[in-house]
Amino acid sequence: MADQVVLKEVGPRDGLQNEAGFVPTDVKVELVNRLSEAGFQYIEVSSFVHPKWIPQLADAADVFHQIHRKEGVEYSALVPNERGLERALEVGVDAVNVFMSASETHNLKNINKSIADTFPVLEPVIRGAKQAGKPVRGYVSTVFGCPYEGPVAVENVLSVCYRLFELGIDELSLGDTIGVAVPTQVRSVVETLAKEVDLSRIALHFHDTRGMAVANVVAGYDAGVRVFDGSVGGLGGCPYAPGASGNVATDDLLYLFDGMGIATGIDSQAVADITRWFEEKLGRPLPSHARAVARGRERGASCD
């Protein structure tokens, strides 16, 4: 059987949390609905963090109420604490995504707590989600570098990851929050983790700040990872990581995996159409390379 990967779409959450303006609720709903139709099985829809911290996603409950839920698609949300879990369960999320950082300063700026003080907050969230029958993903941010502290010791990364597994997360997503990783580093972190954790439980989440994200995905793939996060058009960033730009564009991951003959189950043309449509809604071009080629074609200037 041909090899396959799972692409998890985080654009509606990671992308839109970093938009300067508020994207209207009906546009968010249409975005999620179109992503469902394009074949994604995992869509991170929004975030139940404090609306004062991320006003762009203050309409999370409305978005969940209004989307059309396609059978077989998992609609998840970011949840920082028990209050967030309560809000997420009220709207019937399919999966709960908790998050914290491997570096103290980013953790503090992002969620207002030390790393040690974060575990007792996440413990009841993970337990409560599991009791409600929801799978839990744990994001670890700043795995490959922190905007405030620079390099992050691999021991610090590992201790946060192992603790989250002990608390019961099902899947770990390793975040290159500010897009500093290079492929050798990715391989090394994945290989180290794989000594203790089944690779099927590890996902990679790259931001493309320095144009390394696709190379890092290939390094992760070669090291055995099969789950990758991406954002349609390359939307996104982290508002508490200065200078962080968008996630790797899902469009570019599709070009990569389609070209390598690796199945994703996602309709690349449908994703290209979503990116084009969303650029119109935002009134600005999105950073996806695949989209830049398509824009060139639309202007009659073919670059291939």
**Catalytic site positions:** 238
| By CB under 6 A, residue 205 contacts ligand HMG | yes
111 or 193, CB closer to ligand HMG? Answer: 111
| By CB under 6 A, residue 65 contacts ligand HMG | no
Query: Site mask, ligand HMG, residues 104-143, x = CB under 6 A?
Result: ------xxx--------------------------x-x--
* Token pair recorded at residue 225: 């990872």
> How many angstroms separate the CA atoms of 162 and 213, rounded?
25
Helices marked H in 24-179 — which ranges? 25-38, 60-66, 82-90, 104-111, 115-131, 154-167
Residues within window 10-39 making contact with Mg ion, judged by CB under 5 A: 14
Binding residue (CB under 6 A) for ligand HMG from 17, 107, 231, 250: 17
For 221: left if phi > 0, alpha if psi spans -120 to 50, otherwise beta; the answer is alpha
CB of 230 to Mg ion, least distance (A): 11
81 or 209, CB closer to Mg ion? Answer: 209
| By CB under 5 A, residue 44 contacts Mg ion | no
44 or 104, CB closer to Mg ion? Answer: 44
134 or 207, CB closer to ligand HMG? Answer: 207
| By CB under 6 A, residue 15 contacts ligand HMG | no
Tokens 């829809």 correspond to what residue?
45
Q: How would you class 198 by CB atoms within 10 Å of its CB: exposed for 0-12, middle for 13-18, buried for 19 or more?
A: exposed
For 142: left if phi > 0, alpha if psi spans -120 to 50, otherwise beta; the answer is left
Contact residues toward Mg ion (CB under 5 A) are 14
